Chains A and B, each alone.
Chain A
Amino acid sequence: MPATVDREAIAEQPNPLGLAGIEFVEYATSRPQALGQVLETLGFRPVARHRSREVLLYRQGTMNIVINAHDGARPSSVAPTETPVISAVAFRVRDAAAAYRRALERGAWAVPVQVEVMELHIPAIHGVGASRIYFVDRSDAFSIWDVDFVPIPTVDKHPPAIAGLHWFGLVQYIGSERMEDWCEFYRELFGFERLQDTQRFGILPKGHILRSPCGSFYWQLIEPEPGLVEAEGEESLQRVGLGTPDVPAAVAALRARGVSFVEAGELHTEARGALTVAQLGGLMFELVHQA
């Protein structure tokens, strides 16, 4: 074991994994085409398909979304359902192997890998519910997409973002009295930092917000409303947040493409943010003002 012998004590780095944003978000669904249509209204374009599985890559600007309809043997994972669920988030890190080892040393659960020949072994740990967190260290010249995916012919591999849309972050629903546990989990394993409650984003100012150690995205934790404990569901990644420097412009552009936004009483489109109307049984996206 790497001993705790006489070594010079070095203070913990603020970004221990060299985290540098989100490489992709993965949805699992048994209706990949329905989800694909929704993503296309939001400005994503299909750009590549997986070599061996029923998996598609959608892209917009800097954002990659993977649609996974592969109903393989995934013992600890859920089978794809009609309602798409966020089944994984991939973090860009300096060194995926080192990040993975460090997470395991601190109490993460390893996900057993199932790769086909000539495919990349992307290390993953269990996240909330049945979701996973991947570590990816190839995001520049020769990326994971170049290895495991085949480009769809003729399409632009780098479709531009509508109104500067980019990853703002993830929204995770948690059980009651679980806030401290989850804050500690993301701090201990990845170096996330909890923001002051005065710092707020978007139109759904609930729960607590954690900032990634690279500062480029956020993780919002939301507890159930008090008194609604009996309605408490499983903990899960509920939605993604898309950042934009101009929410009204983004809303106008997306409306023109057929996206509907929630406009009900207190919850409505503002300069701070907007929320899309749920589709496919609960799939929604949040827009958040972010320069």
Chain B
Amino acid sequence: MKSLEDLKRIRERAQAQIRLRTQESNTKIIVGMGTCGIAAGARETLMAILDELSKRNIQDVVVTQTGCVGLCEYEPLVNVIKPGQPKITYMKVTPEKARQIIASHIVNDQVINEWVLSTEEGA
């Protein structure tokens, strides 16, 4: 390292490594990962979401999981919570649908209404 620019470059690279620990949660994607969700393919959905986020280099989204909410027949369920917006729950989210949700809802702020199971204010 010979200059300030080098330091800055390393800092930016390193910040990606610890991003999960330091960022204030902005947008959240929550995947239903109860036994029912996993049986319906939630793991593949989760991996597709992570893959799509990383392909698009989207860094300010936190992806977590949750347990069974009792709507097993609609699994895999995916919740999207954007700051100041209602919680949107998508149903039967396959990996392909998950990628489209990211493209449409996360990136372009367009909810894909036909897959929405419920909308919850103030979540």
Do the two chains bind?
no
Binding site for B on A (CB under 8 A): none
